[in-house]
């Protein structure tokens, strides 16, 4: 309780909620919208701006069990220590937002907003790529990490730490082993590009393109217990639309799956069916199966690029699975887990919940790269019962695409274009015992108006149990060093 008293003294300067305020029924309009949401018991303050005109504003955050914080002003910023104490006091209960407006000398009270404080904590860190809306500009490209319990945000890697003549790396595809920040990989495409593997406190660049592989590793999935990383190897292309809400279409021309052994520095095929496009691998949480997206692709034209350009709306991906034996390192035959094509749809980004029960993916009308597909929604399959359907509470009219589970399976974070259709923003939703999501809320920021001025997209949000401690400079040195050439073996 002491933090709550301190907060009252620091934020209100003897301001108290007006006792004679007249209750009105105006809609409560906040930016970001934090009305009626379920939040983690350890999340940073839900700062917001009140989108109603008035001469003065007072906001009270009041716990249903105990405690309150009073803040004055149209832009509401709750002190961190007081906020943490308030959530701790009301874990498993609710906090209420009571907002007062002063108009023409009279205080008005808006309808009370109720937000539930879940007892389920969220992983303290996430990582994501911040990218400009252009497609050839890499100067400010960065992989960042953010403490969700506060507002601390730092670079994992930023092109600006590289030598001036080597700042054209397209940094992407960061991935971790079982949420561990000390075991990580990321790619850089362009000058001195390659795949950097981080483990045992060291960053080492490796070259995975070897033998007859069509490329180096592209989309990664680190095995939960072994130093094995499944990759797609792909040839892709982009089409830019002049009059379409999708703007860009990323096309798979050729894609296979490989397994990289980080200890032996070897790669081997998992799947290389010339009539299939296999991509976006992900492991089951126990490591006994590999899930991925796969589309039957038999070109009708001799030129594969031209064929994809003409027929890209006809390519649809299903979710497949292969059993895996970590001892023998052998994979079983593919089996279809979700047939999206039969529904006239296309599935991508499969991710299995930490308890192994649910498969979450993005479902769109066609193709594999749904980040620009407004119709793309999050879709859920219960792997125990086979029941499937849209994760309705989390979806919107904008594109929902890349998503990941928290380590306890109670939270999902995903990229959404629901706000303006142009930039992806990180949204978080609670996931309950019945397989239902709560109303999503955007990742809180210290300045709640900053999203309006941040003309960058948050891509590939991933949960982590702690911060990445290796420095951006060490990663830069790894990119600038000669790569360690992997060996292509016939079998694992």
- pLDDT, tens only, 79-119: 999 999 999 999 999 999 999 999 999 999 999 999 999 99
**Domain tally, the chain:** 2
Residues 6+ apart with CB under 8 A from 19: none
C-alpha 246: how far from its chain's center? 20
Do residues 225 and 335 share a domain?
Answer: yes
Q: Is residue 460 within 8 Å of 417, Cβ to Cβ?
A: no
Q: Is residue 191's pLDDT more than 80? A: no
- Residue 139 in any domain: the answer is yes
Looking at residue 313, what is its pLDDT?
83
Do residues 471 and 352 share a domain?
Answer: yes
Do residues 51 and 146 share a domain?
Answer: no
Please compute, for residue 377, the number of CA atoms within 13 A of its CA located in the half-sphere on the CB side.
14
- Residue 454 in any domain: the answer is yes
Do residues 451 and 325 share a domain?
Answer: yes
Q: Is residue 465's pLDDT more than 50? A: yes
Q: Is residue 491's pLDDT more than 90? A: no
Average pLDDT over residues 212-223: 93
End position of a domain, from candidates 92, 118, 144 = 118
C-alpha 467: how far from its chain's center? 16
Residues 6+ apart with CB under 8 A from 380: 358, 359, 360, 388, 389, 390, 391, 435
End position of a domain, from candidates 118, 151, 175 = 118
Please compute, for residue 481, the number of CA atoms within 13 A of its CA located in the half-sphere on the CB side.
17
Do residues 114 and 242 share a domain?
Answer: no
Looking at residue 458, what is its pLDDT?
94
Q: Which long-range contacts (CB under 8 A, 24 or more apart) does 269-275 make?
A: 270/230, 270/322, 270/331, 271/322, 271/334
For the chain, the first-to-last Cα distance in angstroms comes to: 58
Residues 6+ apart with CB under 8 A from 343: none
Determine the structural domain holding residue 450 and report its residue range: 125-480
Tell me which of 10-14, 333-337, 370-374 is least confident: 10-14
Q: Is residue 335 within 8 Å of 344, Cβ to Cβ?
A: no
Residue predicted with more confidence, 415 or 491:
415
Do residues 244 and 203 share a domain?
Answer: yes
Given phi > 0 = left and psi -120 to 50 = alpha, else beta, which region is 264? Answer: alpha
- Residue 342 in any domain: the answer is yes
Where does the pLDDT of residue 5 fall: very low under 50, low under 70, confident under 90, or very high at 90 and above?
very low
- Residue 485 in any domain: the answer is no
Do residues 159 and 57 share a domain?
Answer: no
**465: buried, middle or exposed (CB in 10 Å: 19+, 13-18, 0-12)?**
middle
- Residue 60 in any domain: the answer is yes
Phi, psi of 343 (to 5 degrees): -90, 0
pLDDT digits (tens, 9 = 90+) for 401-442: 999 999 999 999 999 999 998 899 999 999 999 999 999 999
Do residues 193 and 263 share a domain?
Answer: yes
For 287, other C-beta atoms within 10 Å of its C-beta total: 16
Do residues 83 and 143 share a domain?
Answer: no
Phi, psi of 270 (to 5 degrees): -100, -45
End position of a domain, from candidates 56, 84, 118 = 118
Where does the pLDDT of residue 300 fall: very low under 50, low under 70, confident under 90, or very high at 90 and above?
confident
How far is residue 378's CA from residue 347's CA, in Å, rounded to a whole number? 10
Do residues 339 and 324 share a domain?
Answer: yes
Which residue has tokens 């205080």?
107
What CATH number should be reported for the domain holding residue 462? 2.120.10.30
Q: Is residue 183 within 8 Å of 462, Cβ to Cβ?
A: no
Do residues 91 and 173 share a domain?
Answer: no
Average pLDDT over residues 312-332: 94
- Residue 267 in any domain: the answer is yes
Do residues 58 and 180 share a domain?
Answer: no
Tell if the pTM clears 0.95, that is, is over it. Answer: no
- Residue 22 in any domain: the answer is yes
How far is residue 144's CA from residue 179's CA, in Å, rounded to a whole number? 15
**Nearest one of 160, 161, 176 to 126, comparing CA atoms:** 176
What CATH number should be reported for the domain holding residue 57? 2.60.40
- Residue 489 in any domain: the answer is no
Where does the pLDDT of residue 241 fall: very low under 50, low under 70, confident under 90, or very high at 90 and above?
low
How far is residue 106's CA from residue 120's CA, in Å, rounded to a whole number? 41
Q: Is residue 312's pLDDT more than 90? A: no
Average of per-residue pLDDT values in the chain: 91
């Amino acid at each position: 309780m002491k933090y709550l008293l301190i907060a009252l003294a620091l934020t209100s300067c003897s301001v108290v909620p007006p006792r004679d305020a007249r209750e009105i029924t105006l809609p409560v309009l906040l930016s970001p919208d934090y009305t009626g949401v379920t939040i983690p018991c350890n999340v940073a303050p839900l700062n917001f701006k009140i989108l109603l005109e008035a001469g003065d504003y007072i906001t009270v955050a009041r716990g249903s069990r105990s405690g309150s914080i009073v803040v004055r002003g149209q832009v509401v910023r709750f002190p961190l220590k007081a906020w943490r104490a308030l959530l701790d006091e009301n874990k498993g209960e609710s906090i209420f937002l009571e907002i007062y407006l002063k108009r023409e000398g009279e205080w008005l009270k808006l309808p009370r907003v109720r937000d539930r404080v879940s007892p389920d904590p969220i992983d303290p860190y996430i990582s994501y790529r911040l990218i400009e809306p252009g497609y050839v500009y890499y100067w400010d490209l960065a992989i960042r990490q953010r403490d969700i319990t506060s507002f601390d945000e730092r670079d994992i890697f930023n092109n600006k730490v590289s030598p001036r003549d080597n700042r054209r790396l397209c940094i992407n595809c960061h991935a971790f082993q079982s949420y561990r920040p000390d075991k990580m990989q990321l790619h850089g495409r362009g000058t001195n590009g390659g795949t950097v593997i981080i483990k045992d406190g060291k960053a080492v660049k490796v070259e995975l393109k070897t033998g007859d592989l069509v490329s180096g590793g592209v989309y990664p999935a680190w095995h939960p217990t072994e130093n094995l990383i499944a990759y797609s190897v792909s040839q892709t292309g982009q089409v830019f639309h002049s009059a379409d809400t999708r703007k860009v279409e990323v096309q798979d021309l050729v894609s296979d799956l490989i397994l990289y052994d980080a200890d032996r520095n070897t790669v081997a095929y998992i799947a290389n069916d010339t009539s299939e496009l296999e991509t976006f691998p992900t492991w089951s949480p126990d490591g006994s199966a590999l899930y991925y997206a796969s589309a039957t692709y038999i070109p009708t034209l001799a030129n594969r690029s031209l064929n994809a350009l003409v027929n890209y709306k006809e390519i649809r991906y299903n979710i497949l699975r292969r059993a895996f034996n970590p001892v023998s390192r052998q994979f079983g035959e593919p089996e279809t887990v979700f047939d999206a094509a039969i529904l006239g749809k296309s599935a991508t980004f499969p991710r299995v919940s930490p308890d192994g029960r649910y498969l979450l993916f993005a479902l769109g009308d066609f193709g594999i790269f749904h980040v620009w597909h407004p119709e793309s929604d999050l879709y859920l399959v219960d792997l125990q019962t086979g029941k499937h359907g849209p994760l309705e509470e989390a979806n919107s009219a904008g594109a929902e695409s890349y998503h990941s589970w928290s380590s306890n399976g109670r939270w999902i974070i995903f990229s959404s274009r629901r706000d303006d259709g142009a930039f992806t923003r990180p949204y978080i939703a609670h996931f309950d015992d019945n397989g239902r999501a709560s109303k999503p809320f955007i990742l809180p920021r210290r300045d709640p108006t900053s999203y309006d001025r941040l003309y960058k997209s948050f891509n590939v949000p991933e949960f982590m149990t702690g911060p990445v401690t290796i420095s951006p400079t060490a990663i830069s040195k790894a990119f600038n060093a000669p790569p360690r050439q992997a060996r292509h073996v016939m079998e694992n």
